[in-house]
Amino acid sequence: MTDLYPIIRSQEFFKEFSEEDVHEVVGCATNIVLHQGQYVFREGEPANHFYLIRHGRVSLELFAPGRGPVIVETVEEGEPLGWSWLIPPYKWHFAARCDTLLRAIALDGECLRRKCEENPKLGYHLMRKMAEMMESRVQASILRMLDLYGNKH
């Protein structure tokens, strides 16, 4: 597994983590490659992983009957994907479909949770990075909810 260390170390998400913490995380990581059109996960499935996208783009979709899949957000290279692994009942709310060939690091959710319990300092760092991601996603959602470019009447 040691070959994943430099890859994870270079990820923006883990930039501020200590060497030991990154080594801990590496123990939960696998490298994945998916093809265009494949699903990283689908809504309702168990949320077992947290992903860091190294290459490619993923669409987060929600399927609305009669409307088909609606794209909620696109996530790109350098960005983290998924937080349902962190919060019970650990099920995906959205589907994630690859728009392109996708290379990503998949971090096992259960493994990460266990390490965070054992090492609260690592847990705090990870939680803070997750909160950052959530904050920007919420802020973006609010801006889109305002429908700034639409007609107000």
Partner 1 sequence: MATSIERAVGAADPMVPAPYVVERFIRETQDTFSLELEPFDPSAELRFLPGQFNMLYVFGVGEVPISISGDAAEPKKLVHTTREVGVVTRAMRGLKPGHTIGVRGPFGTSWPMEAAKGHDVVLVAGGIGLAPLRPALYWILRNRDDYGKVVLLYGTRSPEDILYSKELAKWRSQFDLEVYITVDRATSEWRGNVGVVTKLVGRAPFDPADTVAMVCGPEIMMRFAVEELARRGVPTSDIYVSMERNMKCGIGLCGHCQLRGEFVCKDGPVYRFDAIEPLFMEREL
Interface with partner 1 (CB under 8 A):
57, 59-61, 67-74, 76, 78, 97, 99, 136, 139-140, 143-144, 146-153
Whose Cβ is closer to partner 1: residue 44's or residue 78's? 78
- 105's enclosing H/E stretch is strand 102-108
The nearer residue to partner 1, 65 or 148, going by C-beta atoms, is 148
Q: How far is the CB of 76 from partner 1 (least distance, A)?
A: 6
Closer CB to partner 1, 76 or 110, in the complex: 76
Nearest distance from residue 80's CB to partner 1, in Å? 13
Q: Which amino acid, one-letter code, is at 152?
A: K
- Cα angle vertex 7, ends 31, 101, to 5°? 50
**Is the link from the previous residue into 89 a cis peptide, with omega within 30 of 0?**
yes
The Cβ-side half-sphere exposure at 125, using a 13 Å CA radius, reads 17
